[in-house]
Structure 1
């Protein structure tokens, strides 16, 4: 484990799963960590103190962090925490709720109870923690606020998210100790207010489905090569029911299965006209994008584009 310090900023890195788990425990709380692929894991944490607030930038590979019941019961540290996802997508689960956080949005969680963060892709997470003692929020109140995503684009998010982000940048302003303590407490209150503030029309089924529709589109585009891509996989990743998924697409007179097929066909068409795929057999191109049956792929391709995959490739090679 490598540790460097400059002023009130500390940078720590780990090059193994064991070291990474120890770094996370030392900097935050004890968590069970599961890499999404392989067993090796590298990661880095850059943190600074502002009174009782720790503001940290966390970067590593795709993985899942779990605070288990025994770990929470041990109460090694009792923290109010805010997780902000600058890049990638994070899924937070706590107190019976699940939410997806992305694009500079954030969510509140509490280390005194079990929680799960699942992080995919190239992610960049900012974590803000305060000791639970002394904060003006009761356990009952906090349980109603956890795992509720606050989008950066929301009214309250547009005010609070930039302030949180500013605390983790390299040239964050230095404050006197009294002002640092005062500001840390006020930021905690703002985060609690943000998590408790409902967005206008948040209960609207149409608005909620539109947001989900966009999330599914992005997820499908990022996972076209996954043979398991379908309603069950997507619902699990986005923490919604398959019924909710189908309803979101029905509002646009679409079906999820047809949407996935369309995006895969478009990806295959791009590959068939790309020089980098010219030597790849057509059935392998199809299989790469989720079409296990070559005959089915040829029929669907011809129905969609008016020509066979072979004729399409040949026509584009001659240009």
Structure 2
């Protein structure tokens, strides 16, 4: 599990809830003015995840107005970029230059060095739910004049690097039990690479990306593509290379920097998914050959051989061992 802190309004005396959360937002993001019609009995739940220099904060709260003023900027500016991924409800954002609304699964960018107002509207349960992301601007390869263009920018969370980033943020919001505390800085590096690639694409400035960041971002796109197509027995390195408009030799060079070759990574992902299905009591009546075929092994003998090599026993014995426990 990653290093995280939790704030629940019910854990705080009623009279202090709103002000305590305002202080927490000031530490997590930047000092802001908060205005709400619900401040007398404010409901909020926030987790703050530490990913090295990057922080992620899934939260649910009643409607509120966030206001970052020139005075607050003069008093304290962490010089960071903030992304918000709404999951339920809507954000109405004003940066002084543009006004925009952001519904679920869109990405909004704010700069702590620029004034803004953000008004949140709740979903059907009355709470606005989303994921905030804080990244020091110094970590991103975006010059000052380009950075000014990012404030208030609307980015798609449905395709490309935006979809990859939204997928990661949503996964972290759902829980971090699959990770160890030491994974935090590694995940922070992944976030910075994805964000750098997303900004470069949005600004039509791919030359901003350092070669290593470009490579890592492309590898992340390829891994995501592979995971979406694991069921396809025709998923091979040539098919993957063609789908990403790169040569087969370049694909193999990309994975020379990784722990496994691309073919080995595909095989391990398929076997891991199959192993999970075999261990699932709800799927105990699913034939073993059907489990293998579901994850890209159309021939039962090939599935049995690969499974035995990876786990030291055939899939039938693996399932029987779990059912007898």
TM category (shorter chain) comes to 0.5 to 0.7
- Paired with 1:81 and 1:48, the residues of 2 have a C-alpha distance of 14
List per-residue Cα deviations over 1:74-110 (Å, max 9, x = no partner).
Answer: 2342211101101111112225112211121111111
Deviation at 1:195, TM superposition (A): 4.4
Mapping 1:2-17, distance limit 5 Å: 7-14=2-9, 15=14, 16-17=17-18
Match of 2:147 among 135, 142, 153: 142
Say whether 1:110 aligns with 2:116. Answer: no
- More helix by percentage: 2
Residues 95, 186 of structure 1: alpha-carbon distance in 2 compared, 3 angstrom cutoff: farther
List per-residue Cα deviations over 1:29-61 (Å, max 9, x = no partner).
Answer: 111001045644232210111221101112111
Q: Unmatched 5+ residue regions in structure 2?
A: 206-325
TM-score using structure 2 length: 0.53
Residues 38, 178 of structure 1: alpha-carbon distance in 2 compared, 3 angstrom cutoff: closer
Deviation at 1:181, TM superposition (A): 4.7
Say whether 1:56 aligns with 2:57. Answer: yes
Partner of 2:129: 124
* C-alpha RMSD over aligned residues: 2.5
Partner of 1:228: none
Residues 36, 148 of structure 1: alpha-carbon distance in 2 compared, 3 angstrom cutoff: farther
Residues 191, 9 of structure 1: alpha-carbon distance in 2 compared, 3 angstrom cutoff: farther
TM-score using structure 1 length: 0.54
Say whether 1:153 aligns with 2:158. Answer: yes
List per-residue Cα deviations over 1:189-208 (Å, max 9, x = no partner).
Answer: 1342464369xxxxxxxxxx
Mapping 1:195-234, distance limit 5 Å: 195-196=202-203
Residues 180, 35 of structure 1: alpha-carbon distance in 2 compared, 3 angstrom cutoff: same
Say whether 1:94 aligns with 2:104. Answer: no
Deviation at 1:173, TM superposition (A): 3.4
- Which segment drifts farther, 145-154 or 89-98? 145-154
Say whether 1:179 aligns with 2:186. Answer: yes
Partner of 2:19: 18
Residues 178, 30 of structure 1: alpha-carbon distance in 2 compared, 3 angstrom cutoff: closer
Do the aligned partners of 2:53 and 2:135 also contact (CA within 8 Å) in 1? yes
Do the aligned partners of 2:93 and 2:116 also contact (CA within 8 Å) in 1? yes
- Paired with 1:164 and 1:96, the residues of 2 have a C-alpha distance of 28
Do the aligned partners of 1:72 and 1:112 also contact (CA within 8 Å) in 2? yes
- Which segment drifts farther, 131-140 or 114-123? 131-140
Q: Unmatched 5+ residue regions in structure 1?
A: 1-5, 199-319
